[in-house]
Amino acid sequence: MHDLPPRRREILSLARSRGRVGVDELATRFGVTPQTIRKDLNDLCERRVLSRIHGGAVIASGVENVGYEARRFIAAEEKRAIGEAAARLIPDNSSLFLNIGTTTEEVARALVDHDGLLVITNNLNVANLLYRHPRIEVIVAGGPVRRSDGGVVGSTTADFVRQFKVDTAVIGASAIDDDGGLLDYDYREVPVSQAIIGNARRTILVADRMKFERTAPIRIGHIAAISCFVTDRLASPAFGELCRRHEVEVVEALAPLDESTIVADDAA
């Protein structure tokens, strides 16, 4: 990307470090109009290094996930709301799986006031958030630890998971297709997620609407295998109808967006 003008090069660098950038903040940072920033973002999207979202852009990625630290900044407010909404669905004195992902970590943060939980996880960050709480017992799955994000993955981990039958599984996904496919980047992680789904009495999928704007190459499964989908805002009426058809409960953690605002933003 050495042919990029300096401002666009800096925008790309910011997006890589944070995971996402916003039109308004960039306009303020560079002292230009929002329309100028939108042109910058559109050019970077045409080059397939960014993907447009409402109000800004995120790093484009189809075969490799965005780095863990950057993912923590993407839709941070939405993930917190999703975590709190999902935690309300989990009763005291129950057992659950929590798998890898920054959104499942927000669920873990929201579980600290629960009583009598048994949490089995292949996410070292989840274990670190919960192990200090005397009313929560934590079991960490065995297997190789992925350095990028503290995820425990591989066939040994999947075998470990199959020893249990829990009340609730809470899982994330790297991307969601419009046809209901749940997708991920790492082939070592997918069998673990599949084992978690297969060994839970109900499964809660936690994912923000931006997961519909991404792609990933490896299939975890289909939305039909999910009991409840907790998101910030439903991505589309068509996907809502798909969930209804497969009897998947949908919980929106935030109020629906004002469609007129979206149209005005896109037209500007």
pLDDT digits (tens, 9 = 90+) for 143-196: 999 888 899 999 999 999 999 999 999 999 999 999 999 999 889 999 999 999
3-state secondary structure of 104: helix
* Residues of each domain in the chain carrying CATH 3.40.50.1360: 75-252
Strand extents, DSSP E, the chain = 20-22, 50-53, 56-59, 95-98, 117-121, 136-140, 145-146, 151-152, 166-171, 175-176, 181-184, 200-206, 218-222, 228-231, 249-252
Which pLDDT score is estimated for 68?
A: 57
User: Percent of the chain beyond pLDDT 70?
Assistant: 88
Question: What is the tens place of the pLDDT at every residue in 79-126?
Answer: 999 999 999 999 999 999 999 999 999 999 999 999 999 999 999 999
Which pLDDT score is estimated for 40?
A: 94
Name the residue with higher pLDDT: 106 or 18.
Answer: 106
CA pair distance 229, 240, nearest whole angstrom: 10
Q: In the CATH hierarchy, which top-level class contains the domain 75-252?
A: alpha beta
Q: Are 143 and 156 in contact (CB under 8 A)?
A: yes
Query: Which H helix or E strand runs over 240?
Result: helix 237-245
Which pLDDT score is estimated for 103?
A: 94
Residue the block writes with tokens 């709190």: 84
CATH value of 6-60 in 1.10.10.10, 3.30.200.20, 1.20.1290.10, 3.40.50.1000:
1.10.10.10
